[in-house]
């Protein structure tokens, strides 16, 4: 794999392009690899709409020179994108079964980075997640999965089982948001051949 010329970052549920990890990556690229096209869109609540936005946004990208990164629900989405386009993917505490996990969140929600912003998570969005779930991980060496045993939201054992054949970094501690992200950034950059 060569270094990607285009990078797509997909944030998690109730998150945004203001996520710490997305901001950290964007800042590093701006300073060290400004030639790389970076896109971290605000994803709509509907999974179908989110994937349509992503598909439209990367339609003109060179598939052989792009990579996708995703955290939590964004990690699930990144898997969908990687399986559809055949591109490398970096997954950070990826959701394995978001249809199950988010079934309890139907109703009005607030955004992490802007609590004054509200959205409604609809029951039909669960069906959309079920419909897009990849059956299997093909070409697992195309993936880097960073999974924290200290994740307080998702079960690390389930994530490890799903992504067992990938290039896996299993962290003894950390947390769901990977608040120690700066420690893991060099591994991500090396996987993507950006350093």
The span from the CA of 95 to the CA of 77, in Å, is 9
- Phi first, then psi: what are they for 16, rounded to 5°? -165, 175
SS3 23: helix
Which has the higher per-residue pLDDT, 115 or 60? 60
Strands (E), 55-175: 66-71, 89-92, 107-110, 118-121, 143-148, 167-171
**Cα angle, residue 59 at apex, residues 54 and 65 outer, rounded to 5°:** 100
The answer to whether residue 92 scores a pLDDT higher than 90 is: yes
Residue spans per domain, the chain: 6-191
pLDDT at 67: 98
* Mean predicted confidence (pLDDT) in 140-148: 96
Tens-digit pLDDT profile for residues 146-181: 999 998 999 999 999 999 999 999 999 887 888 999
Mean pLDDT of 6-13: 96
- Reported as a pLDDT band with limits 50, 70 and 90, residue 59 is very high
Q: Averaged over 99-124, what is the pLDDT?
A: 86
Query: How does pLDDT run across 12-48, given as a tens digit for each residue?
Result: 998 999 999 999 999 999 999 999 999 999 999 999 9
Class of domain 6-191 (CATH, top level): alpha beta
**Residues β-bridged to residue 6:** 37, 66
Q: What is the pLDDT of residue 85?
A: 96
Mean pLDDT computed over 56-62:
97
Reported pTM:
0.95
Share above pLDDT 90 across residues of the chain, in percent, rounded to a whole number: 83
CA distance 143 to 24: 20
Q: Which of 163, 184, 186, 188 is nearest to 174 (CA)?
A: 184
Share the mean pLDDT of the chain: 94
pLDDT at 104: 92
CA distances from 11 to 1, 125, 165 (A): 24, 17, 24
């Amino acid at each position: 794999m060569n270094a990607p010329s285009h990078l797509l970052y997909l944030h998690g549920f109730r998150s945004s392009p203001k996520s710490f990890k997305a901001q950290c990556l964007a800042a590093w690229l701006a300073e060290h690899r400004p030639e790389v096209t970076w896109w971290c869109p605000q994803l709509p609540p509907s999974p179908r709409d989110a994937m349509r936005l992503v598909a439209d946004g990367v339609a003109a990208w060179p598939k052989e020179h792009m990579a996708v990164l995703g955290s939590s629900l964004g990690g699930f989405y990144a898997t969908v994108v990687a399986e559809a386009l055949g591109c490398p993917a970096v997954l950070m505490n990826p959701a394995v079964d978001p249809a199950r996990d988010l079934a309890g969140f139907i109703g009005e929600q607030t955004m992490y980075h802007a609590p004054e912003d509200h959205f409604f998570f609809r029951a039909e969005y669960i069906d959309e997640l079920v419909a897009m779930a990849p059956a299997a991980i093909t070409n697992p060496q195309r993936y880097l999965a960073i999974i924290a045993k200290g994740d307080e939201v998702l079960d690390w054992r389930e994530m490890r089982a799903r992504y067992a054949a990938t290039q896996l970094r299993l962290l003894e501690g950390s947390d769901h948001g990977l608040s120690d992200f700066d420690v893991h950034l060099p591994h991500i950059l090396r996987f993507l051949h950006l350093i």
